[in-house]
Structure formats: structure tokens, C-alpha cells
Amino acid sequence: MTGVQNIAVTDDEAGMRVDRWFRSHFPDVSHGQLEKYLRKGEVRVAGGRVKSNRRLEAGENVRVPPLTSRAPVKRVAPERETENRQALASMTLYEDDDILALNKPAGLAVQGGEKQVRHIDGMLGAYEKDGVRPKLVHRTDKDTGGLLLVAKTRKAAQALADAFKGRDIEKTYWALVVGAPRPVAGEIDMPVAKRMVRIGDAGVERVVPADGEGAKQAVSHFQIIEDIGRVSFIAMRPITGRTHQLRVHAAAIGHPIVGDYKYGGDASRIEGVSPALHLFCRSMTFRHPKTGKAMTITAPITGAMKETWTFFRFDDNVTVDWPELEA
């Protein structure tokens, strides 16, 4: 239990609801307990009683009473914090006061889930400052490497989330696909949906090309960078942001991404090439969430992709322009 605290609302916290501000500062206190504090007037803002949905203003003081928590918050061991900080530093491509750009290795999950003990979201706690930790604003598959943007402030997180939702961020992926798509550049406009499909004797959920109920528009652009016959180095640009969109579209046009056994099956296996998924988020172009300045961040390929590019002597410094494409 702590004593009475008076905490000033920061500029970055302006506009936050009281309950969300409280959850950010004191995650080990239940919502029910907070409501009790508010009803009794033990939590006050600028000296007055408030409700949980009250919006805070920068500079206001929040009175926090002695707290009784549900359970102590699990803290990461200091040695793990150091390890996480060093790992994130090794991935960092760009950092300022508002954003962090990482080159995520393939095989490292972005968020926790079943059997996911180590992931980017958990590691970001090592960068917590003054009770504020960096926030994810988008996700990539565990097996997809490359650029990942992270917001370091609440305002940056909202701005970037809005930009992703509004399709104002241009993303370019590199992929190695089986064969060579024709035409050499084009648009794939193919709705997708999550459906139960039968694999062997079991039914599993997959994202598949679909029409009707639950189907969502999915549009991807592609262009061949280098065609060597049995495989091609292509660039892909997702216009929409559906789950596994690029993987589903590539497989649907008959040119699955190498190593994508989930959607390409045995056809995605190429003898002599790493079995890893060959999909990489190469770059993003967007406006800085605070300054509004246009910027492009590019991630150098790593891991199995780098080995494959070296093996086939692909140019890993090539730049990609996106012309007007036909479906």
C-alpha cells in the first residue's frame, strides 16, 4: 500500500479518460476498485470529484489515495530488462522522441499468444519511461521479418494508428515466389475471409479468397524485380491490411511465397533454398506523427532472406517505384 500521491498530467496524457490514465499508471488496481475510489471521492482531479470518463487536461493534478492492489505486478528481472534493451537496440533503425523503427527478425513474434514467451510487445517494457511504455501500432507475422513501427507516446500511437487505418502509410515488401507472375506487374483485387477448411482429418481456420458473408476487400500490388525461372524476386505493396493478405494473394495467383507451407503447401518448397518464409517488410513511407514531415525508413534484409539473396546474387539495394497498375 502506498501513501497519497498527487501526479501531474503530462502533455502527452492530455485528453485521456481518467480510467485509462489510471490503468496506465496503476495496472494492478482493478476497474471496480477505481470506481469505488471515485464514488468515495478518494480519487480527485484538480481538487474535485470526477467520473471515470472525465477527460484530463495537461497540468492538472490527479489525487491518488493509498492503493490496495489485487496482486503485485509481475516485474521483469533486471537481467532480462537489460537483455531486452540490448536486443531492441540491435534491431533499431531509427529512433526519436516519438517513434521507434525496428528491423524485426523473422521468427520473433510481435505480440504474445499461445506458446509465445518472448515477443516484441513484452520486450518494449525495457523502454518504459515515466510510466509510459512504447506502443505497437501495427503487426506483422512471426515468420515475416523487416520493418516494424512503434510509437513512444500516446499521441504518436493515435496518429500512426489513424494513418494505418486510413491507408496513408505505403508499405513495400520483398518476397521470393515460385515461378514468375504474368503480367510482370499488376494488381490483385481479391476479397478474403476467415473460413474453416479441412486439412487432413482436421478442420482449421484459414484466410482464403472468398465472396459473400464475412468477405473483406483485399488489394495488393506486385512487380517482378528479377525473374530467374524457377523463382522470382518480387516487390509487393498491400493497399489494404488484411491478415496474411500478401501470402494468400501470392498463392491464389499460382505463385506462392517460398517457405509459405500454410498457404502454398508443398509447392512453396524449393530444393536448395531455406525452408523459411521468404517475406520481408522492406520499407514504409509515412508522415511523422508530430512534425508531419514525410519520411521513408528502409530495413536491410537479414537472416534466411539475406542468405538466399546472396545465393541468387539478387541486388539487395534495389529501389522500387510503384507505377499505375492494372488489375
What is the Cα–Cα distance from 171 to 236, expressed in whole angstroms?
8
Q: Which of 141, 143, 201, 260 is catalytic?
A: 141
Whose grid coordinates read 533486471?
78
Domain that holds residue 237: 170-312
> Does one domain contain both 152 and 129?
yes
> Does one domain contain both 209 and 285?
yes
Amino acid residing at 257 = I
Cβ neighbour number for residue 300 with a 10 Å cutoff: 13
Instruction: Write the pLDDT tens digit of every residue in 77-91.
Output: 677 888 999 999 999
Instruction: Write the pLDDT tens digit of every residue in 96-122.
Output: 999 999 999 999 999 876 666 789 998
**Mean per-residue pLDDT, 52-78:** 76
In whole numbers, what is the pLDDT of the chain averaged over residues? Answer: 90
Of the residues 13, 37, 64, the one at which a domain ends: 64
Domain presence at residue 73: no
Instruction: Write the pLDDT tens digit of every residue in 205-242.
Output: 899 999 988 899 999 999 999 999 999 999 999 999 99
C-alpha cell read off for 140: 506483422
Is pLDDT at 327 greater than 50 in this prediction?
no
Domain presence at residue 138: yes
Tell me the β-bridge partners of 284.
171, 297
| pLDDT the model gives residue 96 | 96
> Does one domain contain both 209 and 248?
yes
At residue 174, what are phi and psi to the nearest 5 degrees?
-105, 145
What is the Cα–Cα distance from 31 to 126, expressed in whole angstroms?
26
Contact 58, 14 (CB under 8 A): yes
Amino acid residing at 77 = A
Higher pLDDT, 157 or 69: 157
Number of domains in the chain: 3
> Does one domain contain both 177 and 307?
yes
Of the residues 145, 165, 185, the one at which a domain ends: 165
C-alpha cell read off for 279: 517475406
> Does one domain contain both 141 and 219?
no
> Does one domain contain both 34 and 154?
no
Phi-psi region of 289 (alpha: psi -120 to 50; beta: other; left: phi over 0): alpha
Contact 53, 15 (CB under 8 A): no
Q: What is the pTM of this model?
A: 0.81
Higher pLDDT, 236 or 53: 236
Q: Strands (DSSP E) along 200-278, which ranges?
A: 202-209, 219-227, 231-238
> Does one domain contain both 194 and 305?
yes
Tell me the β-bridge partners of 8.
61
| pLDDT the model gives residue 201 | 73
> Does one domain contain both 201 and 262?
yes
Is pLDDT at 293 greater than 90 in this prediction?
yes
Active site residue 141: yes
| pLDDT the model gives residue 199 | 75
Domain presence at residue 326: no
* Long-range contacts, stretch 44-48, CB < 8 angstroms, 24+ apart: 45/18
> Does one domain contain both 254 and 240?
yes
> Does one domain contain both 59 and 19?
yes
> Does one domain contain both 135 and 246?
no
Q: What CATH number does residue 291 fall under?
A: 3.30.2350.10
Of the residues 119, 146, 165, the one at which a domain ends: 165
C-alpha cell read off for 276: 523459411
Contact 223, 151 (CB under 8 A): no
Amino acid residing at 181 = P
What is the Cα–Cα distance from 239 to 220, expressed in whole angstroms?
6
Q: What CATH number does residue 9 fall under?
A: 3.10.290.10
**Mean per-residue pLDDT, 194-202:** 79
